[in-house]
Amino acid sequence: TDQCFEELPKRSEVPAEGLTVFTDASKTRKKAAITWPEGSIGKKYVIQSQPGSSLQTLELSAVVWAFKKWQTVPINIVSDSLYIVGAVQRIKRAVLKELHNSILSQLFR
């Protein structure tokens, strides 16, 4: 018997049947937050800024954390960061060059 495996897309323009996660970051508070519903309560995880972090790296840290936490299930990530949304839309076909920003380099691995 011949078997054919089809790779499922990792990103979709249509919302996934799954959890919706919200991410946001604050430059003034130097923190990023991820929130999601769990049962009847809301859960939250906060990421503290590292020295040298920008608002964009904080936003990216939040999205990377969400992808890692729910890596085996479909999720929807809501972000108000045009930088992050654009990066996620282009990441599959991107060629990553060597980055001089160690924080950014680590996040894109």
Domain ranges, ordered by start, for the chain: 19-107
pTM for the structure as a whole? 0.75
Q: Which CATH code for domain 19-107? A: 3.30.420.10
Largest CA distance in the chain: 60
Which range is least confidently modeled, 35-39, 64-68, 81-85, 88-92?
88-92
Listed residue (21, 102, 26) closest to 66, CA to CA: 21
Angle between helices 82-90 and 55-69 (to 10 degrees): 50
Cα–Cα distance measured from residue 91 to residue 27, given in angstroms and rounded to the nearest whole number: 24
Is residue 58 pLDDT above 80, yes or no? Answer: yes
